């Protein structure tokens, strides 16, 4: 049995002292200690190792166990994804915008210390989450963007490169460009429609993972003493309009952490998340006493109700996009929830790493499936 907390031992002792009626069964009051370290998040945090032995979740967990600050551990974890050239959804080699430029977003929150930082539309720096952490620790601000974020990163000693494309990301951008612009579209509405159609075609052809076309890694952690923190990092929607910023660097949307309550992060369609400030909503549901699964499902239902534009609906009137939440409360309860159980042929999953090692599970889902476009 896992080690019990002092409070749990006291409760157990008190229960043992209560006399039982003849034939009555003693209540089962010995419960597992709740504040064991735990890292949860998106499944790409359980896939990429950048040539090393650990994934992001394993790295964050190991660092917490060794006594490192929870937010520093989480940022070190996601940096493995950001630096991995095979990972297309974040950092170095993340799929670029419509002009072929990799622009990165990230946010971090330390719930216990009540510190937060973010960067958006950052170019040339492979590890935007680390820059977001520097914003939280070295400035009085929460969000830096564009050239200002890059200038800050350079001042803080981060290497700034002229191009974060890999041969893979550049090749896929050229393929996408060829699909949308064979005749040099002049009508913006036709060009945008062609861009969306090309993205969907590349997903259907298996060229882009449907679960990561919006390109994000989320990782939330609970430390040995109950400290909470989280990080969300992304290269954003593949082939996005230059300068587009989604939910990932926005506190309350792509990430929210309250040290007394819990943490929530998200991947999927950022605009839907922004409209609902869904991660803030999830944490507030936790504050009201909801289980992480129920808090996440309430946020998904809110997004479903808020999605009314015809272009964003499938033939059944449900959202035609994917969205996932990863939720962790201060008691150590965790859940991964998804708008769809089966999103265009890809089963929605979430991952965790605790004392039992790395685990990947299927998400609880609001809706059963969304067929390929």
Q: In tens digits, what is the pLDDT along the chain, a chain of 373 residues?
A: 333 343 333 333 333 333 444 444 444 333 333 458 999 999 999 999 999 999 999 999 999 999 999 999 999 999 999 999 999 999 999 999 999 999 999 999 999 999 999 999 999 999 999 999 999 999 999 999 999 999 999 999 999 999 999 999 999 999 888 887 654 344 455 555 555 655 555 555 655 555 545 569 999 999 999 999 999 999 999 899 999 999 999 999 999 999 999 999 999 999 999 999 999 999 999 999 999 999 999 999 999 999 999 999 999 999 999 999 999 999 999 999 999 999 988 999 999 999 999 999 999 999 999 987 6
Which pLDDT value is given to residue 184?
37
Q: Active-site residue among 216, 233, 234, 307? A: 216
Q: Is 307 a catalytic residue?
A: no
pLDDT at 36: 83
Look-up of token digits 């959804």: 89
- The answer to whether 115 touches 136, Cβ cutoff 8 Å, is yes
Listed in order, the ranges of the chain carrying CATH 3.60.20.30 are 38-370
Own/partner pairs, 194-200, CB within 8 angstroms, 24+ separation: 195/98, 195/239, 198/239, 199/238, 199/239, 200/373
Rounded alpha-carbon distances, angstroms, from residue 46 to 166, 204, 210: 22, 24, 17
Q: What pLDDT was estimated at residue 3?
A: 37
Give pLDDT, residue 117: 98
Nearest to 152 by CA among 132, 170, 166: 132
Calculate the CA dihedral of residues 10, 13, 15, 19 and round it to 10 degrees.
-150
Maximum pairwise Cα distance, the chain? 87
Confidence (pLDDT) at 21:
45
CATH class given for the domain over 38-370: alpha beta
Cα 213 to chain centroid distance, Å, stands at 13
């Amino acid at each position: 049995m896992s080690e019990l907390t002092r409070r749990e031992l006291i409760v157990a002792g008190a229960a043992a002292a209560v006399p039982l009626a003849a034939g009555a069964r003693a209540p089962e009051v010995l419960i597992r200690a709740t504040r064991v370290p735990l890292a949860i998040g998106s499944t790409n945090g359980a896939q990429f190792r950048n040539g090393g032995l650990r994934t992001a979740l394993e790295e964050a967990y190991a660092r917490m166990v060794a006594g490192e600050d929870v937010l520093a551990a989480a940022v070190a974890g996601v940096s493995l994804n950001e630096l991995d050239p095979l990972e297309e959804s974040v950092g170095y080699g993340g799929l670029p915008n419509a002009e072929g430029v990799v622009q990165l977003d990230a946010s971090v929150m330390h719930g216990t210390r009540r510190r937060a930082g973010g960067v958006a539309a950052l170019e040339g720096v492979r590890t935007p989450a680390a820059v977001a952490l520097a914003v939280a620790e070295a400035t009085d601000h929460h969000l830096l963007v564009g050239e200002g974020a890059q200038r800050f990163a350079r001042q803080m000693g981060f290497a700034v490169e002229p191009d974060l494309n890999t041969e893979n990301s550049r090749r896929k951008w050229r393929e996408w460009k060829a699909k949308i612009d064979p005749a040099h579209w002049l009508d913006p509405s036709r060009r945008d429609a062609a861009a969306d159609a090309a993205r969907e075609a590349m997903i259907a052809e298996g060229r882009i993972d449907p679960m990561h076309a919006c390109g994000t890694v989320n990782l939330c952690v609970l430390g040995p003493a109950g400290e909470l923190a989280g990080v969300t990092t992304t290269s954003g929607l593949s082939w996005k309009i230059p300068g587009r910023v989604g939910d990932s660097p926005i506190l309350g949307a792509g990430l929210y952490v309250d040290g007394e309550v819990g943490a929530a992060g998200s991947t999927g369609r950022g605009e839907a998340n922004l409209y609902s400030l869904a991660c803030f909503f999830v944490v507030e549901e936790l504050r009201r006493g909801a289980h992480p699964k129920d808090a996440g499902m309430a946020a998904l239902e809110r997004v479903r109700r808020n999605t009314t534009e015809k272009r964003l609906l499938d033939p059944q009137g449900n959202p035609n996009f994917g969205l996932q939440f990863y939720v962790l409360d201060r008691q150590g309860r965790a859940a991964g929830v998804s708008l769809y159980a089966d999103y265009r042929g890809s089963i929605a999953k979430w991952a965790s790493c605790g004392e039992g090692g790395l685990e990947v599970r299927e998400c609880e889902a609001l809706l059963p499936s969304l067929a390929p476009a």
